[in-house]
Structure 1
Amino acid sequence: MDVNGYRSDGVGAAVAMVNFWTADEGAAPPTVDAARAMLAPYSFLVRDARAADLGPLADWSAELRRVFEAERLEDAVDLVNGLLDRVSVRPRLVDHGYGLHVHYALPGAAFVDRVRINTAIGLAALLAEYGVERSGVCAEERCERVYADTSRNGRRRFCSDTCANRANVAAHRARKRASAASPSSHAT
């Protein structure tokens, strides 16, 4: 049971933010509208986002990336605890037209603070439930995007089906080349 949505929304937002701000070197700086569109699916009141929020959100995204890059649970826990130390969590039950649910920020908290709290709590829940085995940087060697896998089987290693297919095709072609080049594959 997902009690409050912070795991799914917070983790999804963390993945989206890291990929939005850190994965595409050389991309044009994002606009407020693009940032709003990226964050909207994760239950944020994106109308509150302002141009001044872009820099702090980009910086936070770079810090979130380090969690996804951590290979050891102890390192990831230290990183997430560091994020949690920097947010002011004040849980409250609220109902503003979406049904009764928990908010971890006080009413009127700045947009950046709400995003930071949500993503820090989400990553904490992800680590507590799954450790570091369910998140990371895409296994496709040319990709720098991150992923988090909360599925039942937990076997995801790619950021998208596109990268998984690309890696599978490359592995298949490499096996074919190796097979064609091996002495046992040539007729005698």
Structure 2
Amino acid sequence: MDFIGYRSDALGAAVDLVNAVIEDPEGRVTDQLRGVLLAHSYRALDAPDSVEPALRAWARRLRTAFEVSTVQEAAAAINALLVDVSVEPHLTSHEDTEGWHLHYAAPEAGLVDRMRATTAFALAMLVSEYGISRHGRCAADGCAKVFADSSRNAARRYCSAACANRSAVAAHRARARARAASGLR
């Protein structure tokens, strides 16, 4: 499912950025952040380590849009993000290397500003199109990761198949213990 018609996976970049920071909230995650940037075509091979604090701060702010209970809360969280984003939409083809596509940040914008504009607009487009039914925090006990659901049935509740499987196994074992405790087979 293409949420925003953007050639890169901007929504996936938002999810991956938030999750990279969650995995190591106190330590340095430069390699993980660089991996996120490269995976989402931000041309970050030469990204200085100095962008890390800004990306970590942005990830924490993005997270607020995933931890909402109502569309109104989502709109407020995303509007707060959009207020701080400098936007200058334009078409680019990266000198004919990627085909024409839309960028939200100015051509001369730095890496952090491009990431901020793209991810904020991805979340805004997602919520404006689908409400809050297609993104959130993983439902698995003990998992703090976020997800965006691109499935047809909009039924995703977990960040990964691993979390979904662990939760299913835990629920099965809990039911088995309850049956055993009640004397049923």
Tell me if both proteins adopt one fold, taking TM over 0.5 as the criterion.
Answer: yes
Q: Which residue of 1 aligns with 2:153?
A: 153
Cα drift, residue 17 of structure 1: 0.7
Measured in 2, the distance between the counterparts of 1:124 and 1:148 equals 13
Q: Which residue of 2 aligns with 1:30?
A: 29
Q: Which residue of 1 aligns with 2:129?
A: 129
Q: Which residue of 2 aligns with 1:55?
A: 53
Match of 1:39 among 37, 40, 59: 37
Measured in 1, the distance between the counterparts of 2:36 and 2:107 equals 23
User: Is the contact made by 2:134 and 2:148 (CA closer than 8 Å) also made in structure 1?
Assistant: yes
Q: Deviations over 1:123-150 (max 9, x none)?
A: 0111112111111111001111111102
Q: Which portions of structure 1, spanning 4 or more consecutive aligned residues, are displaced by more than 2 angstroms? A: 1-4, 22-26
SS at match of 1:136: strand
Q: Deviations over 1:6-46 (max 9, x none)?
A: 6x6221011101111124445x3112x43221222222121
Q: Which residue of 2 aligns with 1:178?
A: 178
Gaps of 5+ in 1: none
Q: Deviations over 1:79-120 (max 9, x none)?
A: 101111111111111111100111111112111000000100
The structure where helix makes up a greater share of residues is 1
Q: What aligned pairs does 1:91-130 form with structure 2 within 5 A after superposition?
A: 91-96=89-94, 97-130=97-130
SS at match of 2:14: helix
Q: Quote the RMSD (CA, aligned, Å).
A: 1.8
Letter in 1 for 2:91: L
SS at match of 2:9: helix
User: Is the contact made by 2:89 and 2:106 (CA closer than 8 Å) also made in structure 1?
Assistant: yes
> Which is greater in Rg?
1
Letter in 1 for 2:92: V
Letter in 2 for 1:68: F
Cα drift, residue 4 of structure 1: 3.6
Measured in 2, the distance between the counterparts of 1:59 and 1:77 equals 20
Q: Which residue of 2 aligns with 1:12?
A: 12
Measured in 1, the distance between the counterparts of 2:178 and 2:167 equals 16
User: Is the contact made by 1:16 and 1:39 (CA closer than 8 Å) also made in structure 2?
Assistant: no
Determine what percentage of the aligned residue pairs are the same residue: 46
User: Is the contact made by 1:11 and 1:123 (CA closer than 8 Å) also made in structure 2?
Assistant: yes
User: Is the contact made by 1:138 and 1:147 (CA closer than 8 Å) also made in structure 2?
Assistant: yes
Moved more, 86-95 or 41-50: 41-50
TM-score, length-scaled by structure 2: 0.91
